[in-house]
Amino acid sequence: MSNQTSNAVMSTYGRFPISIVEGKGSYVWDDKGTKYLDYVSGLATCNLGHVPDAVEEAVQAQLSKLWHCTNLYHIPTQEQLAEKLAQHSCGDQVFFCNSGAEANEAAIKIAKKYGHDVLKQDNPLIVTFQNSFHGRTMATLTATGQEKIQQGFAPLTPGFTYLSYNDNHALSQLQELSPVAVMLELVQGEGGVIPVEKEWIQQLEAICQEQGILLMVDEIQTGMGRTGKLFAYEHYQIEPDVITIAKGLGSGLPIGAMIAKEEVAKVFSPGTHGSTFGGNPVSTTAGLATIDQLTTPGVLEHAQEMADLIWQGLEQLAAEKEEIKSVRGKGLLIGLEVTGAAIDYVNKAREEEQLLIVVAGPHIVRILPPLTTTKAEAEQFLEKINHIFQ
């Protein structure tokens, strides 16, 4: 198999020169049989590791029963998964789709519908934040506060404005703007692994509550246990009106979801939104098995223990190495701010240490271990990362 991208595949990714053909737990193998410690986890998607046994067993059973069913009929696994997500979140109702971008599209649509129907606004405004990332569709790339993502796609979707993240002046601006909704990540992943400040997000929530503004959190990357809790918002004692998730929900099968409080969800009536494949039997079966595993006692506690171990090792390394300016993030969503080009360290890790990590900006190395990584694997990772910075 060639490590060059086929001419039949559009060049929308700059791919690394390896072809992954197998994975199990924290490891993947390429077509040459080389074994890699995978601390990318499909970009925070394989949170239970590759091909987790419980999810595999459930999906295999479903594959012999039913693959697809139109949403014009009831789909039992979809309804069961919706009930579990409502049970484990502050939301009440769930819309299912296939990806994070689609989940954020649904959030944008429901906010605009809420603005028109409930607040009687002619041109509802949605506030997002600089350096955010919300997706690649026209509405979600407009919501994304990065010009490089938007370049070449004008005219952008109207109805968005951008404020500064973790900035007190932005809170004053928010009060003046009176938007229908605020949409933000609680850790800006693609924007450099920047966590929200607790006092700032609590003040933002207070303003939203005072002014009747919807608080929408994009948990595509932070959700499903990535930060040590099922949802990142739980760290901050806040209650969003809308939560979007995808990535880790299906353990690698395509599924996304928007969770909303009932008063928001009710503006989506039959015909206002939909998805042919959203909530299909196979993906929702994977979602059910995944959330059952994540909510099993001890699983998230183990993830937090591994996060503490890795953070301790990385902070010690940062204290010794001038090339590392800071360690930041939350839980097992970790960024190393480096003085040199982050891609150089990523390439060195892959080529010399058989370790897979990625970038989150020119000078940010991003580390995304599976939540199920073992102590031995975490220690192996720290040994490898030490070699990279020697």
Could you report the per-residue pLDDT of 205-236, keeping only the tens digit for each?
Answer: 999 999 999 999 999 999 999 999 999 999 99
pLDDT tier, 42 (very low <50, low <70, confident <90, very high otherwise)? very high
Instruction: Tell me which residue of 257, 212, 208, 202 sits closest to 233, measured CA to CA.
Output: 202
Could you report the per-residue pLDDT of 132-158, keeping only the tens digit for each?
Answer: 999 999 999 999 999 999 999 999 999
110: tokens are 């429901």
Could you report the per-residue pLDDT of 89-106, keeping only the tens digit for each?
Answer: 999 999 999 999 999 999
Average pLDDT, the chain: 97
The predicted structure's pLDDT at residue 7: 87
The answer to which of 5-14, 37-46, 326-335, 357-366 has the lowest mean pLDDT is 5-14
Mean pLDDT, rounded, for 150-172: 97
Is 372's pLDDT higher than 90?
yes
Domain 20-52+298-388 has CATH 3.40.50.1470: no
- Can you give the residue ranges of every domain in the chain? 20-52+298-388, 54-294
Complete DSSP assignment for 55-89: HHHHHHHHHTT-S---TTS--HHHHHHHHHHHHTS
Could you report the per-residue pLDDT of 57-116, keeping only the tens digit for each?
Answer: 999 999 999 999 999 999 999 999 999 999 999 999 999 999 999 999 999 999 999 999
309: tokens are 């171990």
Mean pLDDT, rounded, for 264-280: 97
Backbone angles phi, psi at 173, to 5 degrees: -60, -40
C-alpha dihedral (386, 388, 389, 390), degrees to nearest 10 = 90
Give the count of alpha carbons within 13 A of 249, CB side only.
33
The predicted structure's pLDDT at residue 3: 62
Q: Answer left, alpha or beta for residue 189, where phi above 0 means left and psi between -120 and 50 means alpha.
A: alpha
Q: Who's near 64: CB < 8 A, 6+ residues apart? A: none
Q: Which residue has the tokens 């989940």?
A: 103
Name the DSSP class of 248: G
Burial label, 278 (beta-carbon count in 10 A; 0-12, 13-18, 19+): buried
Q: Which residue has the tokens 């190393």?
A: 336
Is 1's pLDDT higher than 80?
no
The predicted structure's pLDDT at residue 390: 85
The predicted structure's pLDDT at residue 4: 66
Q: Indicate the CATH number for domain 54-294.
A: 3.40.640.10
Q: Who's near 138: CB < 8 A, 6+ residues apart? A: 153, 156, 157
Taking the CB of residue 250, how many other CB atoms lie within 10 A of it?
A: 30
The predicted structure's pLDDT at residue 6: 79
